[in-house]
Structure formats: C-alpha cells, structure tokens
Chains A and B, each alone.
Chain A
C-alpha cells in the first residue's frame, strides 16, 4: 500500500503516532490503525438541510414582494421645463411628507414638454390622492408679495410639491404647474369668479380684502375668449367666505386710485401691500329697497360669478335696478364732459352719462349737427322720504312724472363741476323763464329739453354785448368827428393869435421878472458859499475822527477774535 492519503493530507506518519495502539512499523499496516469510537447515533434527518434554500427563497420572495409592493403607483407629470428636477434625486412631497421620487426625466415626443415619471411610495394610500384635480409643481425659492418661501430648497435642491385634489376619479398623468398654487385644496374656504375689464396690477396671489382685512387670494386669471374681459378665480378663506353674499361687490383695490372727476381730486388706497402689489376688495351692498326684516343677504355659492369694478365708487353705486335713458341735445361745446360724468338732480346723483356723440351726419337737412349726450337715470337712486316701498317703474310712470315737471321748466343743463378741472356734469333742475319745451317721447331714447348751462349763458351775454356794440352808427360818428376837427382847427387859430399877443405884451415884463429872480438866486448862492467855508472843514475833521475810531474798533475786534480770553485775563504783557 502506498501513501494512503487523499490529496489534502499533509502528514500521514503523524496520523498513527498518538493513537493508543502501538506503532511498530514506519508504514503502519491497516490492522495497527486505531478504530473509531462508536457513539450514539444522532437523530436528525438529512432533508432538514433543504430547509435552508426553502427559507432563502421565502426571504427572497418576501424582500422582492415588499419592494414591489412598496413601489406604489407610477405617475407621469408634464412640465414646461425640468429646472431642478433630477432622476432618482427629486422627491415628491405632500404636506412636506415624502410620497414619491422621480425616476425618469425626458422630453416628450414632440419635444415641447418634459415628461417626468415618478414612482409614488406604496402602502401610503397615495392612490386615493392621485385624482383629476391633484396638482403638482416644482418648489423653488420664491420671493413674492406674500413673502419668501421654499428657502429650504436652496440646500436640498428642488422638490415637486403636490396638492391633493378632492375628486374621486383617479388619474396617473398630470400637467405640472409653473408656479406654486397660492392656496392648497385643504384650506377651507370658497372659490369665486370675477369678471373684469382689465387686469390692473393684479397677479396670482394678490390679496382679497374685506374691510382691509386680507381674507383671500387671487388663484388664477385668464382672458376670456372674446379678448375683452379677464376672468379671475379668487379664493376666500373660511370663516370670511360667508361674508361673500349675493349682494357683494368687488372692486380693484390695486395701487392708488387717483380719481380726477367732476367731484375733484379723490385718492383711494386699500393698504400698503395692495398699493405695491395690487389687490381686490369687496363689501356688501344691501338692497336699499329690501325691508330690514329680511335679514342678511344669502351667502354666495361656490363659484358664483361677480363683476370686478374698476374702483370702489363704481362698485358701491346703488343697485342699478332700473335705468331710463334720455338724450340731451346740445348746440354748444361739451368740452369737459366725459362718459361716466354724473347726472344730478339738484346735487343728488341719479345717473350718469353713457354716451357722447354727434347727432346725425352733417348735411343739407342737418347743417349744424348737435351733440347728443345720452344719459341713464336711475330714479331709484334718489333717496325718498315717506317711500312706500319699491315700486316698479315703467316709462309711462316716468312720462306721467316728468311731463308736468318739464312744463314748470325742468331742463338738463351742463354745469361745471369744478372750476379747477373744468369737468362738466349734467344738472337736472328747474330753469326760470325757460322757453316752453316738451320731452320728445317718440325718439329712442326720449329727448329731454336742455337749457344752456352756466357757460352758455355767459357766452350769450357776451354775444348780446357784441350785438349792442355792432349797433353803434360808426359812419355818422365819423362825419361828426370830421366837423369837430374843422372846428378845432378854427379854435387853434384863435389860440395862435392869442399867443402872439402874449409874445408882444406879456413876455418883456416876464423877462424883467426873470432877471430879478436870477439875482435873488445869486445872492442865495453867495450865502451858501460862506456856510461852506466855515462849516465844511470842521465837518471834514469830525468825519476823519470817526473814521479813526472805527479803525481802532476794528483792531480791537480783530484782537478779541484772536484772543477771546483777553476779555477775562486782560492783554498779556509785551514779551519784549
């Protein structure tokens, strides 16, 4: 037997050495080798080893299943650009809770948008939040009128914000927002719609004020398809949303409203923030005709549409329940009258100018077209004492009411509202001694007789003055003047004769008198010369003294200025 070793055996000789059996030979025979000890048999089954792969498979399946189950739904969001979004780095957060991660960022097939595929976290019930009105946006640092937000993204990088919607229909593809929505869906409150003529200085996030308390924000705005109106979506937070009633009026509180109208300069602001950033204010305007027992007006329902007035004064006008149009024809200039200028009845506003136009084309039958001023009058705007409640007024009622008034001189006049601005307004009042007139109910709108306004009457006076001047008979006056001038010539000749007489008779005597006078004057001069000789030198000396004194004073003043202490200490000794 050669080496009885397997390839791993190192020392075959050692194997036998310590055994109890005596090793007599160098190459021990099999009989010399020790026998193994027989121990009790272990009772275990070999198949137990197969539990290991079984457990491993179970663990593997469990781990895989858990990671698949944890994966949650995959959603796709389309953004206009992918600024700050990175695959496997950008997370999706809802209420700052991590609910998913971006797995892939790529361009859409038409290369116009960015398709962001994100994997939501599973087991979080996120599926029920992924509904049709759920919104996504990229959170970046943002500085706006409302404050600074998203500063943490400066360090952590951008993340995708999520605002869960309220619908029940689930959705997996979303359009990402460019800007963060001002109000998230979980904030209690109500959304309303406003229609305005222009955007003003409003923007998304502009505040809504109720009695200068910020109660909401502008969520969005869009131009209506007609291109002439802007539709705002605003949100008023609870509990203020119940103050939005069917009688609420909204107006632009943007910036400073400087209103230079017939009523003079008017500055209206809401708050400093709104001056800078713009805003919308609203207030209730109760129906004055409603009986007070009716209680507060009903709350406006969600998505109620309101008009957004350009300014507070427009918004808070009385309800324009029923207006009547009249046409006023003026032959004079309407410079200073604007559309919207007030129509007043003895100082009480009851309407406004709606249109200023020329009445028809100039032509043979209309050589001097007048200016047609259309006004709308709201009789209900007039607060009336002892009113018996709202009354439905018809044009016939108006006619019954107005015709007797017209007969008593009720006329429409253009008056200057403010001397400073020269704005005109339409004044409805009784004019004394007005020529008889009547309302022409046949036209549409009815034409109300007018009376010349204050300026017109001034012009009339001037015209009559000019007419009087015209009436003066200038020719006759000239003839008379000619005769008068001839008379004057004769008179002058008489005067000439008189003067010659003076020359010969009076002048020689006058000459003597003059010589005497000259003599007297010479005497006077001599006297004065004496005075000059005696008083003059002394006066000169005196003036010289005064001059010296002034010099000394100047020297003293100079010294004192340099040495003010000498006033106290006296002049120091000369160092010499």
Chain B
C-alpha cells in the first residue's frame, strides 16, 4: 500500500487508490481490494453490490468515444432543420440558426441571445471543454487540476439544461397540431441535437475526475492492463 504524502503531492490530499483503497461509486463504501482482485473477475461492493473500480474503467476512451460521437452529430444538428412548420402560408423549415435570426430580426433580442447561448454556445463549449480536459489528461498535465475539476462540474450541471430546445420543440409539436391550419413537426436536426446533448452528457459522465489528481503511471498503485486506457494513454 503506497504512502501518500501531502507535502509532495500537487494537491494537498491523497487519493484512496494511492492509499490502497477502493471506493464504491454507488454508496461511497471503502474497501480493500485483494491483490489479485482484478484478475479474478468483477469486484462488487460488499455493501451495495455495485461494481467497484479503483477508477472508471477506460474512462478516457469512453469519454472520447461519446465526445466524438457528439461532435459528429453537432454539424447536422445545426445545419438541418429542427422544425418543419406547415400552415396556410406554406411549409417552412427552420434550423436553429434561422430561428435565432428570425427572433433577432423580429426584435426579440433577449430571446435570440438566450436561444443562441443555450443551443449553440453551450453545446460547443461543452465539446471544446471536454476535448481540452481529455487532451490535458492524456498529456498528464497536472496544472490547474482544481480549475479543471470545477469546469467538469459545471459541465455536468449545465449538461441537462441543453435539452431546453428539445423540450420546447416537443411541447410545440404536441400543441401546434391544428388540422390543416398549422402543424409543427420536429425535423432531423432536432434528433441530431438531442443526440448531441445526450452524448456529451454521457461523455461527461464517463470522464473520471479523479484521474485529474492521479500521479503519472508508476507512482500509482499497480493497475491491471485491463483498466488502462486502450486509447493509448498508457505507454
């Protein structure tokens, strides 16, 4: 069991893993893994039977996977129409940006800014921030660890609110169904946008913030190869 020395650590705290302990993510119980625990199979929490890992397995890889998936869908989400309105005036398809332009031209500057921030700025910020976090993690950059942690927390809190657009569209699509007079349908962009939000939330979820504070390989307790990052984090 490796010692943890607050004085030499970058952050004045030492991790459970460094102390030779595993912590259950479900009930926060701490347990001591047998030396060959990983090799024997899955380790479950003695209290709540949840699977216990020293760190989220393949956290960076999974986070990357979801992040890339989200990025791939970010383009269609913004380029394809999110709503298709059919009314007497004809059919009209709106993308997120054309809706913002419409609000702005209409004089609803507040609404335009709100939609712009919630639907374009926030998802993009999430994608960029998560990429930064993952890249810095892979480069073992341990500067600003606390600030990066705070950023990650902010991402986790904000994440769900990005669904605002989707909520608005679903509510409108349910409400605006006046036979032949007016009809509002979600477009393919809405689906892509929803997927982007969900994928970034998953990416945020699989990002293990404890990794921010782990010392580079070798200083940490030995980890079986299965738990190392298949993305090429480990040399």
| Chain A interface residues (CB < 8 Å from chain B) | 1-12, 14-16, 18-20, 30-31, 33-42, 46-47, 49-50, 52-53, 55-57, 59-60, 63-64, 66-67, 88-91, 98, 155-157, 159
Q: Name 20 A/B residue pairs within 8 A (Cβ), A-sorted.
A: A4-B4, A4-B14, A6-B23, A9-B28, A11-B28, A36-B52, A39-B41, A39-B43, A41-B41, A42-B42, A47-B230, A50-B61, A52-B66, A53-B68, A53-B69, A55-B69, A63-B80, A67-B79, A90-B90, A157-B90
Residue of A nearest to B102 (CB): A88
A60 touching B13, Cβ below 8 Å: no
Chain B residue contacts of A55, Cβ below 8 A = 69
B30 touches A16 (CB 8 A): yes
Residue in contact with B72 in the complex, picked from A8, A34, A56, CB distance below 8 Å: A56
A46-B13 CB under 8 A given contacts A6-B213, A15-B30, A157-B90: no
Shortest CB–CB separation between residue A44 and chain B, in angstroms? 11
Residues of B within 8 A of A6 (CB): 13, 15-16, 23, 210, 213
A41 to B37, CA, bound (A): 11
> What residues of B have a CB within 8 angstroms of the CB of A60 in the complex?
72-73, 75-76, 192
CB-nearest residue of chain B relative to A93?
Answer: B90
Which residue of chain A has its CB nearest to the CB of B58? A46
**Contact between B29 and A15 (Cβ–Cβ < 8 Å)?**
yes
B92 near A63 with CB under 8 A, answer no
Choose among B14, B80, B195 the residue that contacts A67 (Cβ–Cβ < 8 A). B80
A19 to B29, CA, bound (A): 8
Q: Which of B11, B28, B31, B230 is close to A34, meaning CB atoms less than 8 Å apart? A: B31
Interface residues of B in 17-43 (CB under 8 A from A): 19-23, 28-34, 37, 40-43
Interface residues of B in 175-226 (CB under 8 A from A): 188, 192, 195, 199, 209-210, 213, 226
A38's contact among B34, B49, B70, B188, by CB below 8 Å, is which? B34
Contacts of A64 in B (CB 8 A): 75-76, 79-80
The answer, yes or no, to whether B44 is at the interface (CB within 8 Å) is yes
- Chain B residues whose CB sits within 8 angstroms of the CB of A52 once the complex forms: 65-66, 69, 199
Within the complex, the shortest CB–CB distance from B129 to chain A, in Å, comes to 18
**Option from B23, B58, B188 in Cβ contact (under 8 Å) with A63:** B188
CB distance B45 to A36 under 8 Å? yes
Q: How many angstroms between the C-alpha atoms of A11 and B28 in the bound complex?
A: 8
Contact of B19 among A1, A20, A40, A66 (CB under 8 A): A1
B107 at the interface (CB under 8 A from A): no
Within the complex, the shortest CB–CB distance from A1 to chain B, in Å, comes to 6
The CA-CA distance from A60 to B76 in the complex, in Å, is 6
- Report whether A30 and B41 are in contact in the complex, using a CB–CB cutoff of 8 Å: no
Chain A residues, CB < 8 A from B11: 7
- Which of chain A's residues have a CB closer than 8 A to the CB of B62? 49
Q: Is the Cβ of B188 less than 8 Å from the Cβ of A36?
A: no
Bound-state Cα–Cα, A64 to B188, Å: 10
Q: Does B1 contact A (CB under 8 A)?
A: yes
Q: A8 to chain B: which residues have CB within 8 Å? A: 209-210
Q: Which residue of A lies closest to B76 (CB)?
A: A63
Q: Does B99 contact A (CB under 8 A)?
A: no
Residues of A within 8 A of B209 (CB): 7-8
In the bound complex, residues from chain B placing their C-beta under 8 Å from that of A9 are: 16, 23, 28
CA distance A11 to B23 in the complex (A): 12
Chain A neighbourhood of B14, CB < 8 A: 2, 4
Q: Which residue of A lies closest to B226 (CB)?
A: A46
B44's partner among A3, A37, A49, A63 (CB-CB below 8 A) is A37
Task: For A5, list chain B residues within 8 Å (CB).
Answer: 13, 16, 23
- New contact pairs (5) apart from A38-B37, A64-B76, CB-CB < 8 Å: A39-B41, A41-B40, A56-B72, A56-B199, A60-B73
Q: B47 an interface residue at 8 Å Cβ cutoff?
A: yes
- CA–CA, A4 and B80, complex, Å: 50
Q: Which residues of B contact A38 (CB under 8 A)?
A: 34, 37, 40-44
Q: Which of B21, B58, B70 has the most chain A CB atoms inside 10 A of its CB?
A: B21
Question: Considering the chains assembled together, what is the distance between the CA atoms of A16 and B23 in angstroms?
Answer: 11
Interface positions, chain B 80-134, Cβ under 8 Å from A, are 80, 88-92, 98
Does A157 lie within 8 Å of B57, measured CB to CB? no
Tell me the count of chain B residues lying within 8 A, CB to CB, of chain A: 63
Residue in B6, B76, B213, B226 with the greatest tally of chain A CB atoms within 10 Å: B76
> In whole angstroms, what is the CA distance A63 to B195 when docked?
13
**Known interface pairs A6-B23, A46-B57; A36-B43 also in contact (CB < 8 Å):** yes
The residue on B at minimum CB distance from A21 is B46
Residues of B within 8 A of A46 (CB): 57-58, 61, 226, 230
Best-buried of B1, B30, B42 by chain A (most CB within 10 Å): B30
Tell whether B151 is near chain A: CB-to-CB under 8 Å: no
Q: Is B149 an interface residue (CB 8 A)?
A: yes
Note all chain A residues with C-beta closer than 8 A to B29. Answer: 14-16, 18-19, 34
A37 to B37, CA, bound (A): 9
Residue of A nearest to B66 (CB): A52
Residue of B nearest to A60 (CB): B72
| A7 neighbours in B (Cβ, 8 Å) | 11, 13, 149, 209-210, 213
- Measured in the bound complex, the distance between the Cα atoms of B41 and A41 in whole Å is 4
Specify which chain B residues have a CB less than 8 angstroms from the CB of A1 in the assembled complex.
4, 19
In the docked arrangement, what's the CA distance between A4 and B1, Å? 12
For residue B145, give the distance in angstroms from its CB to the closest CB of chain A. Answer: 10
The distance from the CB of B68 to the nearest CB of chain A, in whole angstroms, is 4
**CB pair A88 B42 closer than 8 Å:** no
Complex: A91 Cα to B90 Cα, angstroms: 8
Docked complex Cα distance between A500 and B89 (Å)? 125
Contacts of A57 in B (CB 8 A): 68-69, 72
* Residues of A close to B98: CB separation below 8 A: 88
Q: For the complex, what is the distance from the CA of A63 to the CA of B189, rounded to whole Å?
A: 9
Distance between A14 CB and nearest chain B CB, rounded to angstroms: 7
CB-CB nearest 5 A-B residue pairs: A56-B69, A41-B41, A53-B68, A36-B43, A53-B69
Cβ distance A423 to chain B, nearest Cβ, rounded Å? 63
Q: Separation in Å of the B234 CB from the closest CB of chain A? A: 13
Task: Judge whether B44 and A36 touch: CB under 8 Å.
Answer: yes
Assess the A157–B89 pair: CB atoms within 8 A: yes
B72 A36 Cβ-Cβ under 8 A: no
Query: Are the CB atoms of A4 and B19 closer together than 8 Å?
Result: yes
Centre residue among A16, A18, A56, A57 by max chain B CB count within 10 A: A56
B46 surroundings in chain A (CB, below 8 A): 19-20, 34-37
Please indicate the chain B residues that have their CB under 8 angstroms from the CB of A88 in the complex: 92, 98
Contacts known (A52-B65, A64-B76); A40 close to B42, Cβ less than 8 A: yes
